[in-house]
Amino acid sequence: MLIQIKNLIKTYQRHNENINAIDNLSLDIPKGSFVTITGASGSGKTTLLLILGGLLRPTSGKMKYNGKELNLQKESEMATFRSNHVGFVMQSFALIPYLTAIENISIALNVKEKNKEKNRKRALELLDWVGLADRTTHYPKELSAGQQQRVAIARALANNPYLLLADEPTGNLDPKLSEEILEVLKEVNLKQGTTVVMVTHSPMAAEYGDTKIQLKDGKLIINDDNTK
């Protein structure tokens, strides 16, 4: 198992109100699986994704990554976990507007590897892989929505994450572009063995998962795991 979650609770406190965004959730995520998460707005999907990626600590419960309890780690170790293991793709593409496609990817690589030429090659390879070899020097505003999302995916994959977390990666896209993005994610999953966890509102997109889970009020109401 890549991830084992047991009795996870996340309570947000606002003024005098407590919101149980994740309410006693237990879930196993096998290595190499493609998990899709659906559920109504406010059901806790993004919260769960942020906890999985080590960006948010749960209020209680356990979460093991590769057998190691993650939430007992120091903040510096969480940061190492995030940069070595996790890639994020968010609904709004979060590309840097004044950098070209290739620069948006290189910047993620430059953090770790100082050899600029090596990073440029790797960024090109990634852009080629998502079908954008002929758009490397385009700025985000010169790319279509689907192309911007593909740059965001290439960037998330820059450091070869074991775990790719995607929050509504097709939320802003039409059906054809959505399918393109989903195919890229499926390929990452199958060819690289990357474990993918994707939040989606679309039943069509959810079908891409080999494990399909549904949340309601922070609880797991469906866990359709076809990997076993």
Ligand X SMILES: Nc1ncnc2c1ncn2[C@@H]1O[C@H](COP(=O)(O)OP(=O)(O)OP(=O)(O)O)[C@@H](O)[C@H]1O
- Give me the residues that bind Mg ion (CB under 5 A), please: 46
Nearer CB in complex with ligand X: 46/170:
46
Q: Does 19 bind ligand X (CB under 6 A)?
A: yes
Choose from Mg ion, ligand X, none: what does 39 bind? Cβ within 5-8 Å by kind.
ligand X
DSSP 8-state assignment for residue 56: S
DSSP conformation letters of 157-199 = TTT--SEEEEESTTTTS-HHHHHHHHHHHHHHHHHH--EEEEE
Nearer CB in complex with ligand X: 18/66:
18
Q: How far apart (Å, rounded) are the C-alpha atoms in residues 74 and 132? A: 39
Nearer CB in complex with Mg ion: 90/126:
90
Asked if 183 and 173 touch (Cβ cutoff 8 Å), the reply is: no
3 state DSSP class of 8: strand
Q: How far apart (Å, rounded) are the C-alpha atoms in residues 73 and 56? A: 12
Q: Does 171 bind ligand X (CB under 6 A)?
A: no
Query: Site residues for ligand X, window 21-40 (CB under 6 A)?
Result: 21, 39
Q: Which of 33, 38, 43, 147 binds ligand X (CB under 6 A)?
A: 43
- From the list 45-53, 70-78, 124-132, 186-194, the region that binds ligand X by CB under 6 A is 45-53
Q: Site residues (CB under 6 A) for ligand X?
A: 12, 14, 19, 21, 39, 41-47
